Chains A and B, each alone.
Chain A
Amino acid sequence: NAGVTQTPKFQVLKTGQSMTLQCAQDMNHEYMSWYRQDPGMGLRLIHYSVGAGITDQGEVPNGYNVSRSTTEDFPLRLLSAAPSQTSVYFCASSHPEGNSPLHFGNGTRLTVT
């Protein structure tokens, strides 16, 4: 019972490099989302998807792209990494019901130097 799987767990990038954070869920959840967590700021929504082929921007989308070609996968792409993107990134998913909690992956700690 894997739940939400994120890879990698840790990553160090140089400024200007690009990379993709992977996220997969095996719970057949329609809703998936990416958050970043910074000290004192809680979790802020980057992008989300309500189903395959549908994505939308959250609160802090600049510098990130997403796609949702399947129900299971929701990768997050950093186009040109900047030090301001140093953060912990969480992928989360849920059923499309109001009382359904988000299930989170274990996070990716990204450092941009």
Chain B
Amino acid sequence: AQKITQTQPGMFVQEKEAVTLDCTYDTSDQSYGLFWYKQPSSGEMIFLIYQGSYDEQNATEGRYSLNFQKARKSANLVISASQLGDSAMYFCAMREGKYDYKLSFGAGTTVTVRA
């Protein structure tokens, strides 16, 4: 079974608007972590934000925030005030358990920011 599901293959957003990227996950572990990465067209993988399963507050990093809904097993990424440079592929990933360092990735969502 897929551990990470990203249902939006591609999205368009107008510059300066906010966009939400969906991510649902499947785990039976109580301890886990959720990560979002950005992959621009140049190909490198850039870490954006992390949310731990025990974190009570939603994570935020600058214009990135994570809408963490534990009961629904969702960890949606919100990008506020979109910029042209936000055009990229975005991956949601999960690390399960306390001592397992493997990351499982979703299929990704391509975001295109329009001027």
Contacts and interface: CB of A to CB of B under 8 A. Distances in A.
A58 interface: yes
Nearest to A50: B101
Given A40-B107, A98-B52, A31 B101 contact: yes
Contacts of B50: 99, 101
Number of chain A interface residues as a range: 20 to 34
B101 A106 contact: no
Contacts of A2: none
Interface in A46-88: 48, 50, 58, 88
Nearest to A32: B101
B43 A43 contact: no
B101 A94 contact: yes
Contacts of B33: 98-99
A40 B45 CA distance: 16
A19 interface: no
B101 A104 contact: no
Interface string A85-107: 00010101010101111111011
Contact of B44 (A45, A50, A107): A107
Contacts of B43: 88, 106-107
B12 interface: no
Interface residues of B, number: 25
Contact of B52 (A45, A88, A99, A101): A99
B98 A98 contact: yes
A104 B102 contact: no
A9 to B, nearest CB: 9
A45 to B, nearest CB: 6
Contacts of B9: 40
A74 to B, nearest CB: 13
B68 interface: no
A15 B49 CA distance: 40
A35 B39 CA distance: 14
A14 to B, nearest CB: 24
Ranked nearest first, the 8 interchain pairs of A and B with the lowest CB-CB distance are A104-B45, A42-B105, A101-B47, A43-B105, A31-B101, A42-B107, A98-B33, A107-B43
